[in-house]
Structure 1
């Protein structure tokens, strides 16, 4: 809502007294403005509906609904749109923590047991696992690679620094699996990369935000909510999914996983790469 707030502040002195009343109400209710309609705003401000409509036309919108829908689209596409939250920093912390709790609850409903079981089975049986993530998705992809490689061999993060995806994908086929972490504000190459993987017949899992529209569907679609109470997305549910997948894989191949973890720990001791006193 920052763009709307800036527009209001730039024109505030030119507004009529009734329009200023509506403008002040909007600035005070940025965080929950989407829950109102124009009739409710006019009632709360003690002005006519036409006053509300006139204000939004002055701000460059045909109607209140157009402004509301535009800001919803911006937020859903990943544009950092800050909200004005009551209660200062303490209010932000409280609402963010509640948002995280609600999001994890929704995540369990989105990640069906059937989907997770099928993907875990593929991760256990695949010749190799490739993981791709761009921009904000990269840290999630990197952490997923770090966790999965504790359990099985042949886990690769694609592409390697300074290299191309084509060189990496040339080695992958039907015996392998790719995990594409692709949260919103994806790079322009995403549709072509997705279509290329599908044509190659490489089994594909996709971690993506809910309601994302795709020209084709992957073999496994994991919809991860990224909701936050203000401008920036939260990746707590994404990291929770990484932990869940890794633990499911470990317990599916427990003996093999324990043996590999043991070999890694032996190498830590031999190389003294980690300080055991620091955990």
Structure 2
């Protein structure tokens, strides 16, 4: 819960009827509270503007704007801020699908101007590719590694289990490439890691949320929308970007990629690791 929500719940029983009306509205609209101003808030709650001002002073804010800015910063930093389902589950699903469509359209604008060309060239020519993903970024990094390793050799997810990043990164240099997946709520070590990678000279691609404030600029910056209609971020644009990167690399070196995929599939057939072997048996009459 956000700091504002905690403060309201802690003081709710001590609020007057008009203040409670405003407080309840705020708790039900935490995800879109930043879109209101104090006049609109007072109108929606059917109270005076002075009631709104008095409530926020009681909660420790100098003004409604101060509270709104704090709430916006929390949401942009990835803090889950839920809202009441005023239009029910069906309405949430409809709004979420619309949000996903908007993100993909935004992604096409961001990446459709050749902005990935340099990164794809770097991936094609790098001796090794290291992929790092922290916390909620880890599934995206893992998926990126699983797709890239089918297209080219020398792709590692860092750090390996039980190891530290320093042990893994010490051998990476200018002939390699690092992809750092670091969406918001990054660990405290992120700025120092980013600075260290820049000093090392290793080519660096960085995947972050839009409007991320970065201390150092990477060689390739991919700012991706994570917007959602309620508490939790959506990673559809991030996963779509992973697919685009891997497909573009495959088609850049199609003969090499096809040969590698063929060798992988032959190993699958020999080791019977996947259920796909049943399909091969059926197709061969086995």
Count of residues paired in the alignment: 279
Aligned residues of 1:2 and 1:82 also touching (Cα < 8 A) = no
Aligned to 2:212: 212
Structure-2 residue corresponding to 1:19: 19
Residue 14 of structure 1: how far off its partner (Å): 2.9
* Aligned counterpart, 1:101: 101
The equivalent residue for 2:272 is: 272
Q: Distance in 2 between matches of 1:69 and 1:239?
A: 30
* SS in structure 1 of the partner of residue 180 of structure 2: strand
1:18 positional shift: 2.9
With normalisation by structure 2, the TM-score equals: 0.91
**1:210–1:225 contact (8 Å) kept in structure 2:** yes
How far apart are 1:11 and its partner, in Å?
Answer: 3.2
1:238 aligns with 2:231: no
Equivalent residues of 2:123, 2:129 under 8 A apart? yes
8 A contact 2:92–2:229 mirrored in 1: yes
Distance 1:110 1:151 in 2: 24
What pairs with 1:154-165 in structure 2 (closer than 5 Å)?
Answer: 154-165=154-165
Alignment-derived partner of residue 202 in structure 2: 202
Change in 2 beyond 3 A, CA 1:40/1:162: same
Kindly indicate whether the alpha-carbon contact (under 8 Å) linking 1:2 and 1:83 is maintained by their aligned counterparts in 2.
no
> What pairs up with 1:176-191 in 2 under 5 angstroms?
176-191=176-191
1:19 to 1:257, Cα distance in 2 relative to 1, 3 A: same
CA offset at residue 32 of structure 1? 3.1
Gaps of 5+ in 1: none
CA offset at residue 275 of structure 1? 1.3
- 1:31 and 1:85 in contact (8 A); partners too: no
Question: Could you say which residue in structure 2 is the equivalent of 1:133?
Answer: 133
Moved more, 58-67 or 194-203: 58-67
- Secondary structure of 1:113 counterpart: coil
Q: Specify every segment of 5 or more residues in structure 2 that has no aligned partner in the other structure, as ranges.
A: 281-286
Does the 8 Å CA contact 2:18/2:51 hold for their aligned counterparts? yes
